[in-house]
A and B are shown apart, each in its own frame.
Chain A
Amino acid sequence: MLRNSQPQTVAGEADVVSTPAGTRPASAASPRQPLSLILGRYSAVFLWIGFLILFGILKPDIFLTVSTFRLTFGEGVVTAVLALAFLVPLAAGTYDLSVGALMGLSLCLINWFSLNTDLPIAVVCLIAVAVCCASGVLSGVLVVRFRVNSLIATLGVSQVLSAVTLKISDNRQVIGKFDGTFEKMGSSNVLGVPVVVALLLVLAVVVWAVLEHTPVGRHLFAVGGNPEAARLAGLPTSKLVYGSFVASAGIAALAGIVYSMRVGAYSAEAGPGLLFPALAAVFFGASQFSGRPNVWGTLVAYFALAFGIKGLQLAFGPGTFWIQPLFQGAALLIAVALASRQITQTRKSRRAQAAQATAA
């Protein structure tokens, strides 16, 4: 899956390029896909269904309830938004590790401003988004102008943002004074769906439409696939990278807004702690469906795991708090390993097919 987004960093790409006649697994159009490949492409969906059945049998009275569904989706919204923030630059072959810190900053700013000023909450949110976008521009400058590797640049930016956040919060919890409607939005439902989940869906549709159905999205994937060829084809590669960082920062700021709707107060753990689950969801998701970083793969991967974790917690009680990182780490590793194995599996199954063809 990484192969698709970052060919220049992964050994073996040259082999793939020079491979003749369809040994490549990403041929979604091929009617001859082996079953194992299809299973791999939809493994997150099957995993999700599997968890629903498993815990539905183990704990039918509490697991398969509307409130559990609302809770699990609601709890996962913030991380899922953060995952979408990470997804956009990844499509362009760029990592933005500062999304966690950006969310923390956004959350801190919202609480600080609502505590210390009388600005309406909408203005406060706009300030948070604007500040985060400015940080996205900074990451863009580092990566595009100074040619710093994006992993290193955003790791550095992430630490600087943490420092800013610590300074503003004075290393304490900041509890903003929100008017009722803001927090009410975080806990109410529309048409039976939590408002925050609806917001996530709207955001996901927007990101999906841009990535998959606009020239900009196509151009982002082109830069992710072969930056030099993209430049030669006349694409504004620098602008695209800048844009992806700003979009990612803006979405990370939204994650902070959603968090403040749901939870309210700023504390130092919010934000950076969610970075890994978000990354895991994006990478796991990139092995799903189209085989490149994509919105629905990311969301399905994330919520499949979230439901598994929720089920385990319900089945085995509160002592299972350690299960979450174990689950996310293991799922990430297995997904990536499966994605790498797809190549060899395709070869094997094609050999088998060919053997049948010759025998017939």
Chain B
Amino acid sequence: MLTISSLSKSFAGQLALDRVDLEVQQGEVHALVGQNGSGKSTLIKVLAGYHQPDDGASATMHDAPLELGSAVAAHAAGIRFVHQDLGLVLELSGIENLMLGRSYPVGLGGRIRWSAAREQAQALVERAGLTIDVRRPVGELGLADRTGLAIARALPDASLGSALVVLDEPTAALPNTDVERLFETVRHLREAGNSILIVSHHLEEIFEISDRITVLRDGKKVATTDAASADADSLVRMMVGHDLVVSGGRTAGQRDEADVVLDLADVAGGTVHGVTAQVRKGEVLGVAGLTGSGREELAAIVTGRLPRTGVVRVAGTEIVAGSPSAGLKAGLALVPGERARYGIFSNFNVRENLTLGSLGRHTFKGRLARRSEAREVQEYISSMGVVTRGPEAPITSLSGGNQQKVLVARALRLDPAVLVLDDPTAGIDVKARDQVHTIVEAAVDGGMSVLLASTDSGELARLSDRVLVLRQGRVVRELVRGADLSAAAIDQAQVAAPLLELPSELRPAAP
């Protein structure tokens, strides 16, 4: 269906793609894997027309020549994209989002026939196997539904014939049941004769969904292999170029049972309906849960981005609700989820991003000493293995995983008593993920406590001493290291946890 040959792309003289060939057949799910910086995203962006390829590349789609680097040509050839950031307009309703790029059914005088538009939108959503209210603003939907909506929007009209749908990291922030739903959609599309090019870091998912796999490393194609004949180990070897050392989980240290550093008492707000938990010194408390369980909002509620009720105490000090700075003063630091939105200052360079929040140690008589600041930042760059040109490089020139390391460094240099991590490795590659985990483990060994909310069961199993499983905004299970804590157990507990007996005030009133 699609063939690309000898595609190169360079930024500032640095090759991001080096003569890459790719072939996607009709009716197959083709996975594109590789670490961050391997060139996956660049390849997708060239295909989407966002970047221009270097000279020498050629491509065909349905055996007709395809102009690379042209959004119009890609669209006309039936190539559709769902990017990691989904590209939805959160303020608009599902209907309006779905109709972007489509023409509205209009009545007299150009008036939009909203009922017809709604039916059309509903049909699109159903094609993707979703049940959501298309009238609601997209911003009110959870991440899983947003992803589904973005795919529904990308689906080309059936009349166009078979299409190629490109999914860039579609499962990055999705819990497992939602991933399964997404894959049903993908299989459905494949059965209709379409091809799917999927980019993902989750190898299990890749094996589950894809027919063939292309591996990129350092901008070069390593191999294209049948999914059936490959195994995870060989794939990881191809991706990283050497055997990956997988830590078998932290060894639980001596913990003082009395030394509670973070104390949550009946904390509620948003989708969280009342969580009580304690984190002791040097302990990692994991929080798991499906989308909508409260897991995605807990970190924001505890650290003050979102309002809450209940009591949060850090080392005995009660924290005012809704005030991140009060939390920070008491030693509660956060690495926020949704990096670009809540963490990164795109107008700042690496140095300015890393040191924000605590400039005091570089301020002499009121004056900020940039040189001493840059020295400290350089130390973090070296010790954390941040891949960047240096402290003065724009933060946006770093890959997602390296931006994340900068945010972890920003939080750690505050020397917090408790570090709250909100899905810290979503959408970053295996190597960077491993590095982030190692950094966190080192800090915990130094006596720091961690509250880790994550969609990544492997991550929870590796780092946590205990994992709380949330459902309907409440803790329904607690898994403890040594007894029943494993990635599989977390997955199972999230799905299989019993529905709660609703408290009387939430029950429908008796007639």
**Chain A interfacial positions (CB closer than 8 Å to B):** 3-5, 7, 13-24, 26-30, 32, 209, 213-215, 217-219, 221-222, 224-226, 228-236, 292, 347, 350-351, 353-355, 357-358
Contacts and interface: CB of A to CB of B under 8 A. Distances in A.
Nearest to B324: A232
A221 B394 contact: no
A215 B359 contact: yes
A232 B303 contact: yes
Nearest to B53: A351
The 4 tightest CB contacts between A and B, nearest first, are A354-B10, A29-B392, A225-B347, A234-B328
A214 B397 contact: no
Contacts of A292: 347
Interface in B1-57: 8-16, 37, 41-42, 45, 50-52, 54-56
B369 to A, nearest CB: 9
A347 B397 contact: no
Contacts of A27: 393-394, 397
Contacts of B52: 347, 351
B12 A17 contact: no
A26 to B, nearest CB: 6
8 contacts: A13-B346, A18-B85, A21-B397, A232-B303, A234-B325, A234-B357, A353-B13, A354-B11
Interface stretch (B91-99, B124-132, B235-243, B337-345): B337-345
Nearest to A348: B52
B396 A353 contact: no
A16 B10 contact: no
Contacts of B389: 22, 29-30
Contacts of A21: 11-12, 14, 16, 42, 397
Given A21-B14, A232-B304, A351-B52, 5 more contacts: A17-B340, A18-B83, A26-B347, A32-B13, A350-B10
A234 B324 contact: yes
Contacts of A214: 363, 366-368
Nearest to A212: B368
B174 interface: no
A209 B87 CA distance: 40
Given A30-B12, A357-B10, A16 B346 contact: yes
Interface string B395-408: 01101000000000
Given A26-B394, A218-B352, A351-B52, A4 B347 contact: yes
A24 B357 contact: no
B412 to A, nearest CB: 13
A13 B12 CA distance: 21
A233 B389 CA distance: 24
Nearest to B362: A215
B390 interface: yes
Contacts of B328: 233-234
Interface string B321-359: 000110111000010100011111111110010001101
A156 to B, nearest CB: 24
Contact of B345 (A24, A222, A234): A222
A218 B356 contact: yes
B292 to A, nearest CB: 23
Interface size class of B (residues with CB under 8 A): 35 or more
A20 B344 contact: no
B392 to A, nearest CB: 4
B397 A233 contact: no
A286 to B, nearest CB: 11
B489 to A, nearest CB: 32
A19 B9 CA distance: 13
B490 to A, nearest CB: 27
B85 A215 contact: no
B396 A17 contact: yes
B343 A229 contact: yes
A24 B54 contact: no
A119 B37 CA distance: 69
Interface of B: 8-16, 37, 41-42, 45, 50-52, 54-56, 83-85, 87, 303-305, 324-325, 327-329, 334, 336, 340-349, 352, 356-357, 359-360, 363, 366-368, 389-390, 392-394, 396-397, 399, 410
Given A29-B390, A215-B363, A351-B52, A233 B13 contact: no
Nearest to B328: A234
A215 B348 CA distance: 14
A191 to B, nearest CB: 27
Nearest to B341: A228
A304 to B, nearest CB: 25
B325 A236 contact: yes
Nearest to B363: A215
A119 B367 CA distance: 37
A32 B324 contact: no
A229 B345 contact: yes
Contact of A19 (B83, B396, B410): B396
Contact of B305 (A7, A18, A232): A232
B399 A20 contact: yes
Give the most central of A4, A32, A234: most B CB within 10 Å: A234
Contacts of A357: 10, 13
B322 to A, nearest CB: 10
Contacts of A354: 8-11, 13, 15, 54
Given A21-B11, A218-B359, A350-B13, A15 B50 contact: yes
B343 A24 contact: no
Contacts of B11: 20-23, 350, 354
Contact of B12 (A26, A32, A230, A358): A32
Interface centre among B55, B304, B347, by most A CB within 10 Å?
B347
A221 B347 contact: yes
Contacts of A24: 394, 396-397
A20 B41 contact: yes
Contact of A226 (B13, B84, B324, B345): B345
Contacts of B87: 14
Nearest to B357: A233
A233 B324 contact: yes
Interface centre among A7, A23, A233, by most B CB within 10 Å?
A: A233
A21 B363 CA distance: 31
B55 A355 contact: yes
| Residue with the highest number of chain A CB atoms closer than 10 Å, among B11, B55, B341, B393 | B11
Most chain A CB within 10 A, of B56, B334, B348, is at: B348
Contacts of B14: 21-22
A17 to B, nearest CB: 5
Nearest to B300: A232
Given A15-B50, A24-B396, A354-B13, A225 B346 contact: yes
Contact of A7 (B84, B304, B324, B347): B347
A7 B341 CA distance: 11
A350 B349 CA distance: 20
A20 B393 CA distance: 12
B54 A351 contact: yes
B342 A228 contact: yes
B66 to A, nearest CB: 19
A29 B356 contact: no
B349 A29 contact: yes
A229 B10 contact: no
A243 to B, nearest CB: 15
Contacts of A213: 367-368
A213 B346 CA distance: 20
A225 B342 CA distance: 11
Given A23-B11, A30-B12, A234-B328, A229 B347 contact: no
Nearest to A22: B397
A233 B394 CA distance: 19
Contacts of A218: 352, 356, 359, 368
A350 B12 contact: yes
Contacts of B42: 20-21
Contacts of B305: 228, 231-232
